[in-house]
Amino acid sequence: MPVQPVHVLVLGGTTEARRLAESLAAHEPGVRVTTSLAGRVASPRFPPGDVRVGGFGGPDGLAAWVREHGVDAVVDATHPFAATMSRNAAEAAVQAHVPLLALRRPGWVAQDGDRWHSAGSLAEAAELLPALGERVFLTTGRMGLAAFADLHDLWFLVRSVDAPEQPCPARMEVLLDRGPFDLQGERELLRRHRVDVLVTKDSGGDATAPKLAAAREAGIPVVVVRRPPVPEGVPVACTPDEAVRWVRRL
């Protein structure tokens, strides 16, 4: 009797999700991997293995998909700020009786010379801004910019992969770009646009960290939006390799 491969569903949208799919596809012959993408990015980078695109229709839809496609385990490798999807995954895993792992790259840690201000949400970040600067480098993504739309006295440089969703700040320049970014480029950007405050989510990872070093060098304050917590009871891996080891143990 041929042995059925273990079917792993990776909820993706991050570099770590892609790396995990690459590792499973290349080195784990007993594993079949399907990556799920939300479909928000116009031209996503597709990982190896099967790929499906678009929402599942909430936790019930995800649980149904898991059952119908014979999924044996789910890895929630979505962005640390994709809190709805992470909650849905936790609920669906219970419904469908499959193990769930959260793959979360570690958050950033402040270093000597950093002038960080912690915020619990984009709205809280917006409240802090007027006291910190006038020319804002906003790197929190294309969604949720409504939180900054009433800050008419401030100017914003918004960097995102795709065009920002309305409503947006009135005084705004958009820079469409996708990381990784390097230190020299970030220094130059801050200087050219006379940025005096940076706003970022605590996304973690190397690809977008050079903006923090550039801000530190320039003595610019940084508003760091804290992560939502991982749903209770869900084990966490910090690297794709750790997640591979979890899959092997199944």
- Residues in contact with ligand NAP by the rule CB under 6 A: 11-14, 36-38, 40, 55-58, 61-62, 78-79, 81-85, 88, 141, 201
Nearer to ligand NAP, 79 or 105 (CB): 79
Smallest separation, CB 193 to ligand NAP (Å) = 22
Tokens of 249: 């143990």
Smallest separation, CB 40 to ligand NAP (Å) = 5
Nearest of 211, 230, 222 to residue 106 by alpha carbon: 230
Nearer to ligand NAP, 105 or 201 (CB): 201
Smallest separation, CB 105 to ligand NAP (Å) = 12
Nearer to ligand NAP, 136 or 196 (CB): 136
**Dihedral in degrees, nearest 10, Cα atoms 222, 225, 226, 231:** -160
Smallest separation, CB 219 to ligand NAP (Å) = 27
226 contacts 81 by C-beta, under 8 angstroms: no
Nearer to ligand NAP, 102 or 195 (CB): 102
73 contacts 98 by C-beta, under 8 angstroms: yes
Nearer to ligand NAP, 91 or 134 (CB): 91
Smallest separation, CB 215 to ligand NAP (Å) = 19
Smallest separation, CB 53 to ligand NAP (Å) = 7
For 85, phi and psi rounded to 5 degrees?
A: -60, -40
CA 118 → CA 127, 206, 221, distances in Å? 12, 20, 11
For 2, phi and psi rounded to 5 degrees?
A: -65, 145
Smallest separation, CB 4 to ligand NAP (Å) = 24
Nearer to ligand NAP, 65 or 156 (CB): 65
Nearer to ligand NAP, 83 or 230 (CB): 83
Return d(Cα 60, Cα 8) in angstroms, integer. Answer: 18
22 contacts 47 by C-beta, under 8 angstroms: yes
